[in-house]
Amino acid sequence: LDINSFLPDELPRLSGLFSLQTFQSHLVTIDYSESRLIIEQPASFRDRTRNMSEIPLKVTSEKNGEAVSMFTQVSDTPEPFWFYMDSGNLRGVLLAPHTGEQLELKDNGKLTLQIAGRNYDRTGEVMEMIYDGVLDVDFFEAYEISIDLQSSRAWVKPNFLE
């Protein structure tokens, strides 16, 4: 199977692919803007996350333990929205119809999500889906993310401060 056949031609060719399942028993930091994936030791993880903001995290997997997925809560609303964190999503933020309505998606697609107490201004697109929404590759570029999948905990730090 050639993974490159699924990607747009303008993207660089990939030599391989990691899934979250690979890191279920590791502490990891993803610094997408610097093209770094860091396998942490407990002490380095504690040091790194000390100056980061913890975000709500749900980790799910199929019955057989494959297809591990992460969801984080976005926006400060009475009814929380859980967005799938998808670094392979190149389409922009995707919203279920009920989410787009409640978050007041503008006609031009503009919306503001709250992540770790900070505004995350994006454009979004409404489509039918089983999730409240899906974050995109830009989220991974905007934030350095440290993840402890075993404890279902994650921390973020903005890569680009306003």
Q: For the segment 58-70, what is each residue's pLDDT rounded down to a tens digit?
A: 998 876 666 788 9
- Which residues have C-beta within 8 Å of that of residue 1, sequence separation ≥ 6? none
Task: Give which of 111, 73, 67 is closest to 92, Cα–Cα.
Answer: 111
Percentage with pLDDT > 90 across the chain: 48
Cβ-contact 18, 37 below 8 angstroms:
yes
Q: What pLDDT was estimated at residue 14?
A: 59
- Please tell me the least confidently modeled range out of 9-18, 32-41, 65-74, 81-90: 9-18
> What is d(CA 14, CA 11) in angstroms, rounded to the nearest whole number?
9
> What is d(CA 125, CA 111) in angstroms, rounded to the nearest whole number?
10
Extended strands (E) in the chain: 27-31, 36-40, 53-55, 57-60, 69-74, 81-85, 93-95, 110-115, 118-126, 133-135, 143-148, 153-158
Instruction: Average the pLDDT over 86-106 and give the result.
Output: 89
Cβ-contact 108, 100 below 8 angstroms:
no
Indicate the pLDDT class of residue 145, thresholds 50, 70 and 90: very high
Q: What pLDDT was estimated at residue 107?
A: 81
Q: What pLDDT was estimated at residue 161?
A: 58
> Residue 137 pLDDT > 70, yes or no?
yes
Name the residue with tokens 């905990």. Answer: 153
Cβ-contact 57, 20 below 8 angstroms:
no
Average pLDDT over the chain reads 86
**When comparing pLDDT for 76 and 70, which is higher?**
70
Helices (H), the chain: 42-49, 97-102, 137-142
Cβ-contact 130, 83 below 8 angstroms:
no
> Residue 151 pLDDT > 90, yes or no?
yes
Cβ-contact 111, 103 below 8 angstroms:
yes
Q: Put the strands of the sheet holding 143-148 in their side by side order.
A: 36-40, 27-31, 143-148, 153-158, 53-55
